[in-house]
Chains A and B, each alone.
Chain A
């Protein structure tokens, strides 16, 4: 398992243009598979347009204590892109005026940003309805200074959303690194201890399931049943909802697909599973994604592909929700990942 990001390894897929070329070439260039744009045109949805903004998602930095094999951010300990306090302040100014009801902090490991706690304290004062932090769980156990995170999250009524690729050790460690499963279990127990994820507890703890390989997630409700049963029986762990998220063919997951000779089959699977009903609710229609350096994107995936919003307002310092909402969403073939089966988003299925 790699311990460095694609960027640190000088892998050509660290270049977003290279990824975009791959996504538009091959089976899509020779017409073997239809382009995403054609699929949207068939149902009168091209160009794709935003609806009301509901989710404001901020990526506070690409640094992470883990180097997961499927990571679309290419995050890792060697990534130095970290949001500054100045950009955080610009975000706070926007959050206090936005119509969005959900604030969603992601990374990297967001907790590794040195101003993370200050930012959470300030953002919590705005009184946004649903305040999410995407925590990778192991960070809580990574260093003493993070051990009190469950209490910190509780104090600010943070909705914790955490990755857990499987309820067995082997599958989790293969995707996320040796020892990740055991540390994740310890972290979940600590979250449960302060009340997170317990039945009827207002302290929300949801888990994210990403397939650990070149296949799509299955029925979210069935997976949730299996996860709940196994985590309860084996470890006495409780959580609220499971979000099944499809891996999009970008960054390290794209690298894996190509290296394992699974790319073409995976794209076939995504296109075959295309569900027009999922298009209406894809997350780019109700989300704005902010990068560590303040640029605005239709979603976290477009952020990682360097595809800034197609609007004259494309940076947090110039934020104007009305102008921003009047834009065409940028798409490519990776978007099939959000419309496969029951659909996929940072909040799980969309149908």
Chain B
């Protein structure tokens, strides 16, 4: 057992989750594969969305996976960083928009 929580080599073992629950694992990977196919959005656009979300959910495996995926698709580092900022802006916006709740509560409690 490793003495750290994240090991880059564990990403290769992702598929093994199906071994302990075959049906659910397979349904997940089928769904996952389908999501990233070319559709109304291109696979390239979806890769950038995945990269942004990977940062927002702070998943080191996903960051590794979608940085490599982006390189494979010829996505530039400038495009990747803009995607990360898009994710970060939504995340910080989500925090800041709660400031309205704070203001509402403040006003309600104040004379």
A interface, CB within 8 angstroms of B: 166-168, 171, 209, 211, 213, 215-219, 222-223, 226-227, 268, 272
Q: How far is the CB of B60 from chain A (nearest CB, A)?
A: 15
The stretch among B26-34, B68-76, B96-104 that forms the contact with chain A is B68-76
The answer to whether A222 touches B43, judged by C-beta atoms less than 8 angstroms apart, is: yes
24 contacts between A and B (CB under 8 A): A167-B74, A168-B76, A171-B76, A209-B74, A211-B72, A213-B71, A215-B68, A215-B71, A215-B72, A216-B72, A217-B72, A218-B73, A219-B43, A219-B73, A222-B42, A222-B43, A222-B73, A223-B73, A223-B74, A226-B44, A226-B74, A227-B74, A268-B12, A272-B12
- Complexed CA–CA distance, A144 and B83 (Å): 45
In chain B, what residue has the closest Cβ to A223? B74
Whole-angstrom CA separation of A213 from B68 in the bound complex: 10
CB within 8 Å of A: which B1-33 residues? 12
What are the residues of chain A within 8 A of B73 when measuring CB–CB? 218-219, 222-223
- Interface positions of B (Cβ within 8 A of A): 12, 42-44, 68-69, 71-74, 76
A272 to B73 alpha-carbon distance, docked (Å): 18
Shortest CB distance A340–B (Å): 11
Q: List chain B residues, Cβ under 8 A from A216.
A: 72
16 extra interchain contacts, Cβ-Cβ under 8 A, other than A211-B72, A215-B68? A167-B74, A211-B71, A215-B72, A216-B72, A217-B72, A218-B69, A218-B72, A218-B73, A218-B74, A219-B43, A219-B73, A222-B42, A222-B43, A222-B44, A222-B73, A226-B74
Whose C-beta in chain B lies nearest to the C-beta of A268? B12
Chain B residues near A227 (CB-CB < 8 A): 74
What are the residues of chain B within 8 A of A171 when measuring CB–CB?
76
Residues of chain B contacted by A218 (CB below 8 angstroms): 69, 72-74
Residues of A within 8 A of B72 (CB): 211, 215-218
- Of all chain A residues, the one with the shortest Cβ separation from B78 is A168
* Distance in Å: Cβ of B7 to nearest Cβ of chain A: 13
Smallest CB separation, B12 vs chain A (Å): 6
> Once the chains are docked, how many angstroms separate the CA of A168 from the CA of B71?
13
CA–CA, A209 and B74, complex, Å: 10
| Residue numbers in B under 8 Å from A213 (CB-CB) | 71
**A residues less than 8 Å from B71 (CB atoms):** 211, 213, 215
- In Å, the complex CA distance between A171 and B73 comes to 13
Contact B74 A166 (CB under 8 A): yes
Cα A222 to Cα B69 in complex, Å, equals 14
Q: How far is the CB of A166 from chain B (nearest CB, A)?
A: 7
Q: How far is the CA of A38 from the CA of B44 in the complex (A)?
A: 34
In the A-B complex, the 7 residue pairs with the closest CB atoms: A218-B72, A218-B73, A215-B71, A215-B72, A215-B68, A226-B74, A223-B74
